[in-house]
Structure 1
Amino acid sequence: MSAMDLVILAAGTLFYAVFSKRLNDGLVTLPMAFALFGFLVGADGFDLVAFDTGHGSIHLLAELTLALVLFSDAARLDVKELLNGKILALRMLLVGLPLAVLIGGVLALLLFPDAPPTAAFLLAAMLAPTDAALGQAVLTNKDVPLETREVMTAESGLNDGLALPAVVMFAILASASDGPGSSGPAMAQFAVMQIVLGPLSGIIVAYLGGHLIDWAVRSGTVAKALEGVAMLALALLAYALAESIGGNGFLAAFSAGITLGCTVKHRCGALIDFMEEEGQILTAFTFLLFGATLLPDGLAVMGWGTVLYALASLFVVRVVAIMLSFMGSKVDYPGRLFMGWFGPRGLASILFALMIFETYDVPFHAELQACVMLTVAFSIVLHGLSATPLSRLYGRYMGGDC
């Protein structure tokens, strides 16, 4: 990337930051703005900036972004409170999420009959998580009842990490079925190491490191401004350790976040502040990269099957899964439909696709990537534009009880 490329990107970022409040009030979200900006300056737009998604530094930044997102989302949630009181969130996570993978996988098999079943369910698993950043307009809207917002916040904070084991397993199985040199025992050993060593290293690092940070805070040996840095170092340590011993670094980051949240929850404020402020830079870059290169790559192989799957993923798969997960609950149908619709796809799905298709030789990867990118593109627009008006409508329906 040249100095002039950097000038263009920095100028665009400055423009958005200066007018961000006005743009957000006008329904232009950060993902929407940076995805459009990326598309305009990329090769399929005015070709002003040269992006190379195969460059090692871009993949390294994407890996670190995904690890930090998984870690911070898990760390900021009170898991004990979730288990004690957020029954609806647990329904969405433990019933709705698997149903979304199941329904999405079956739909993929119907639309892409030549694709292996493992690849079809990999696609569904990558699109199952929702994006808290894209959902902020709903999660912070006072028109929406507080209980509904808390349930949706808890779900969006954990579903990317809970979907990750399925993503990894289906990716391993899909790549093994397409690789002539793959053997059953070797594949099984690799899968076990990924799934077991990853979370184990994350738990150990966060438990020991969390108690170390707690001790440092109590004894006054750590500067308050560096508490967040120490927690981020734990995330990177968990990720790197897992990768070095054959485990999955992203599973390690997620399990480390949950462990840290359960041990030093009262000290996670610095981490949350970082991800909500400086972390916005990572989010903005991801959507910029999405608009500049990943979306055009998806559009290049777009067909009726990919378009239908993307639309069905938003309008059918999640909505049906969430409505089924609420069967027998006291949530009425408008509430079920509201929480089912507002499951925007974004950061996690983009990063999952970027990492999986780079790491594993998955068959039909071009079509699968196109489905992911089109789903995210539709979600950015449809969920972004509908967030405020539907939140107001739902708030009036509920009587404004916030």
Structure 2
Amino acid sequence: MEAFYIVVLVSTALVLLAAFSSLLAFRFGAPLLLLFLMIGLAAGVDGLGIEFSNNYLAYILGSIALAVILFDSGFGTPMQAFRLAAVPSLALASVGVLITASLFALAAMWLLNFTWLEGLLLGSIVASTDAAAVFFLLRIGGINIRDKVRSTLEVESGTNDPMAIFLTIALVEVLASGERYAGINIGMLAMFVQQMGLGVILGLLGGMMIVLIVSKLDTDRGLTPIFVLALALLVFSFTGAVGGSGFLAVYVAGIYAGNRKMQAIGTIKRFQDGMTWLAQIIMFLVLGLLATPSQFPVIIVPAILLALFLIFVARPLAVWLSLLPFDYTQQEIGFVAWVGLRGAVSILLAIMPILGGLENGQIYFNTAFTIVLVSLLLQGWTIKPVAKKLGLIIPPRIGAVDKVEVDLPGAANHELLSYRVIKDSPVLRGERIPRWATPSLVIRDGKSMRYQYAGRLREHDLVYLFIVPSYSRLLDRLFASRA
């Protein structure tokens, strides 16, 4: 029993350390996910001495964490953003991944003395961008760029994982069978169509199921987000069990459910924010613990050269060719190419050759891990300066807003919002609240009063208003500070 408590103690301490490290990341602009990974490395066998070598368990934990992240990514993607960038993003997620993997394979053949298929396998492992890294930098990192570019990057990062996972699994099976000179055949194409087709279909059906069940639930509000997450993981696991892409399905289910009106939507979003943070921390810590840095010197030089080739040659060429038919400027294409961060997905896929019993399994893992470190260091730290250099930073449409959505019980046809009055906001300068918004309560200096008796609003007042659903963005501008 003592061993159990020690494991729980150490695990909790690592999670807390990772959570506290976020304060440093927000303050100094460091790539937060790199900090999570470095904490795992520091605690591992070559650091504090925690020995963790269960590749299968790491793959299971990482896959579940990735499913949680992808569902939340889809849930937070507005349908307008998806429509704006769906076609170019899907081109990047399919053709772009194939081009990246193929170009990378040529470099791997030269630097690591791999065969074509072995190089293509390593290329497939590192071909997809990391959803957690991209969403963190774009949504939380304070980078305000054009909607089309932002939407392209977000949708691409959520949809290119299934392609990379399919290629990795297929190539591991081919290499494990000894067919070293086999190429893409009819069977692989059929498996690809099946996985992607089932992923989209079952993802849509799963999203409908989530919305239907949540709308019919008559339970405690705190249980609703648990139902949603459990149903999302059900979609993920069922799709994978019947031969589809569970990762694509859970992302599609998130997009569908996130763009439908559901009760307790505010509670669901707050719960999923926390679960996504926890999933990212656990995934990066576990993958960091799994690595053995003392093995890196053997492959460090070719791995760094491969990382630079991926960042400066393979990814830019793949992005340029994929986006050539679409209306993107050279600056936008250059930025999309630069935000091709590699992260936990690449390390997770690098476990597959080890589980498949391939001869160079550990070389795949160590090389991919090094490439991820270089990507997070080089690209993760320079995204904002590159966006400024390319002239893609745009002023926000509105300034900061301090707003809370208050859930109303049942199928109420109004929303209750709470705004804190901010300095320089239009409402503080005398602009009137529109007729379709009904102010009900003002809290000032800890005392509550009816809006009619509050007089002119003051800075730091908390105002509660009932509004018609979907009008909240119009009201945001009234309570926003100057952009």
Q: CA deviation at 1:399?
A: 6.9
1:168/1:199 Cα in 2 relative to 1: closer, same or farther (>3 Å)?
farther
**What is the rounded CA distance, in whole Å, between the counterparts of 1:378 and 1:229 in structure 2?**
37
Question: Which has the greater radius of gyration?
Answer: 2
SS in 2 for 1:40: helix
Query: SS state of the match for residue 216, structure 1?
Result: helix
For 1:387, the equivalent position in structure 2 comes to 383
Letter in 2 for 1:31: L
Aligned partner of 1:255 in structure 2 is 249
CA offset digits 1:297-344 (Å, max 9, x no partner): 751542533332122122221122112323354433333222211111
Please tell me the residue identity of whatever aligns with 2:314: V
Q: Which amino acid aligns with 2:337?
A: G
Counterpart in 1 of 2:166? 165
Give 1:13's aligned residue.
15
Q: For 1:170, give the aligned amino acid.
A: L
Q: Which residue type is aligned with residue 32 of structure 2?
A: L
* 8 Å Cα contact 1:310/1:375 also seen in 2: yes
**How far did 1:108 drift?**
2.2
Higher helix share: 1
After TM superposition, list the pairs within 5 Å mapping 1:11-90 onto structure 2.
11-18=13-20, 20-47=22-49, 49-54=50-55, 57-74=57-74, 76-77=76-77, 82-83=82-83, 86-90=86-90
2:357 to 357, 361, 364: 361
Structure 1 residues 184-195: aligned runs within 5 Å:
none
Alignment match, 1:97 = 97
After TM superposition, the score normalised by the length of structure 2 is 0.68
Contact 2:354-2:362 within 8 A present in 1 as well: no
1:340 aligns with 337
2:342 alignment partner, SS class: coil
Secondary structure class of the residue paired with 2:66: helix
Secondary structure of 2:48's match?
coil
Query: What is the match of residue 109 of structure 1?
Result: 109
Q: Which has the higher strand share?
A: 2
Q: Could you tell me which of 291, 294, 303 is aligned with 2:291?
A: 294
Q: Distance in 2 between matches of 1:171 and 1:330?
A: 37
| 1:224-303 to 2 correspondences below 5 Å | 224-242=221-239, 247=243, 251-259=245-253, 261-262=255-256, 265-266=259-260, 273-294=270-291, 296=293, 299=296, 301-303=298-300
Post-superposition offset of 1:196: 3.1
Name the counterpart of 2:366. 370
SS at match of 2:364: helix
Aligned residues: 387
* Cα offset, 1:262, TM superposition: 3.6
Identity %: 21
How far did 1:372 drift?
0.9
Tell me how far apart the structure 1 counterparts of residues 88 and 126 of structure 2 sit (CA, whole Å). 21
Shift in alpha-carbon separation, 1:199–1:75, aligned structure 2, 3 A: farther
Distance 1:361-1:202 versus aligned 2 partners, 3 A rule: farther
Could you say which residue in structure 2 is the equivalent of 1:196? 194
Matches within 5 A, 1:135-174: 135=134, 136-140=136-140, 141-174=142-175
Residue 122 of structure 2 is aligned to residue 123 of structure 1? yes
Q: CA RMSD in A?
A: 3.6
C-alpha change, 1:317 and 1:60, in structure 2 (3 Å) is same
Counterpart of 2:259, as a letter, is K
Sort the Cα spacing of 1:139 and 1:155 in 2 relative to 1 into closer, same or farther, 3 A: farther
Is this contact kept in 1: 2:101–2:120, CA < 8 A?
yes
The equivalent position to 1:313 in structure 2, one of 310, 316, 320, is 310
| 2:397 equivalent to 1:400 | no
CA spacing shift, 1:163–1:12, aligned 2, 3 Å: closer
> 1:73-109: per-residue Cα shift (whole Å, max 9, x none)?
4555467863565454344334433221221223223
C-alpha distance in structure 2 between counterparts of 1:329 and 1:231, whole Å: 36
